[in-house]
Amino acid sequence: MKDACLIVVAQRISSIMDADQIIVLDNGSIAGIGRHEELLRDCSLYREIADSQVKREG
């Protein structure tokens, strides 16, 4: 879809990890903004969620 904006609300990181921009919310406040790799590096909440999902699946 050219020139389209798609907003996805997700709990599973696997659903959004290829997104151009991810916004991490914590009780209505922005905890982090960026791509998957950036958030893994810079956002402790995103990293904690990702770690818990990988451990649960693996």
- Residue 54 corresponds to which tokens in the numbers above? 């990988």
From first to last of its 58 residues, the chain has per-residue pLDDT tens of 678 888 999 999 999 999 999 999 999 999 999 999 999 999 999 999 999 997 765 5
Query: What pLDDT score was predicted for residue 3?
Result: 86
Q: Evaluate the CA torsion angle 54, 41, 33, 24 in order and state its sign.
A: positive
Query: What pLDDT score was predicted for residue 57?
Result: 58
- If DSSP codes are grouped into helix, strand and coil, which group holds residue 15? helix
What is the enclosing helix (H) or strand (E) of 56? helix 44-57
